[in-house]
């Protein structure tokens, strides 16, 4: 089997994937994923006390298009 390339959660964050996963899947469920930027590891999901997670509306989105993500992954 050939060696598989991998990306850590820091790279996933650069690609906007953590934000996309949070916004589209986890936040509606009252969950949120975060990572340790020093290690690139996400050890757990956080559970909202009130069942709601939202990003600050003033936050600039880091979500990339599918094409941008595919191109970046191919370049690894």
Query: Quick one: pLDDT at residue 4?
Result: 87
pTM: 0.84
Query: Quick one: pLDDT at residue 55?
Result: 87
pLDDT digits (tens, 9 = 90+) for 5-38: 889 999 999 999 999 999 999 999 999 998 999 9
The residue ranges of every structural domain in the chain are 9-74
Give CA–CA dist 58/71, Å, rounded.
28
Question: If you average pLDDT over residues 38-67, what whole number do you get?
Answer: 92
Query: Quick one: pLDDT at residue 1?
Result: 59
Task: Put residue 14 in one of left, alpha, beta given phi > 0 → left and psi -120 to 50 → alpha.
Answer: alpha
């Amino acid at each position: 089997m050939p060696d598989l390339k991998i990306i850590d959660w820091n790279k996933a964050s650069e690609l906007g994937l953590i934000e996309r996963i949070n916004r589209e899947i986890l936040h509606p469920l009252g969950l949120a994923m975060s990572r340790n930027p020093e290690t690139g590891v996400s050890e757990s999901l956080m559970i909202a006390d009130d069942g709601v997670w939202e990003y600050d509306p003033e936050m600039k989105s880091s979500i990339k298009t599918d094409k941008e993500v595919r191109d970046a992954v191919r370049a690894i």
